[in-house]
Amino acid sequence: MNFHQKTILHGSAAALEVRGYAPAAVLLRGKSGTGKSDLALRLIAAGGMLVSDDQVVVERHQDKIMVSAPPAIHGLIEVRGVGLLKYPAAPPTQLRLVVDLVPREEVPRLPERESADILGIAIPLLKLHAFDASAPLKIFKAIELVHTPELLVG
């Protein structure tokens, strides 16, 4: 079996830190206009770090998925209404959460545990509405749960 695979996915990614753990990346997926870059910008403003915007390099190394930016867009993020901005970019970071951006009415109130298959590795998956004010906090909490699942009731 090949334990090193690489591809590029459409989406945005940010690296988030939860105290006591290595930085963990979140991959934001969704159709054009669903708020991937906007939510990435808000995650950065809340203490995260840009990994990549619009396209994300995804590499499998043994049992881990690492994400980074393609060289042509490293350190760039498109801010709708403002323009293309330069930001410090995180080094390759382990992917620990995938967030599919959906309309508000498609966000489950009490979601079942789901995962996304990324190069043969199951990564926890959430469905969120990018433009909800609480979306960045929900993502930080979800990353915390990846590290400490015993905090989740049920």
Residues annotated as catalytic (active site), given as ranges: 10, 36, 54, 109
Place of tokens 């939510």: 39
- Ordered DSSP codes for the chain: ---EEEEEEESEEEEE--TTS--EEEEEE-STTSSHHHHHHHHHHTT-EEEESSEEEEEEETTEEEEE--GGGTTEEEETTTEEEE--BPPSEEEEEEEEE--GGGS-SSPPPEEEEETTEEEEEEEE-TTSTTHHHHHHHHHHHHH-GGGS--
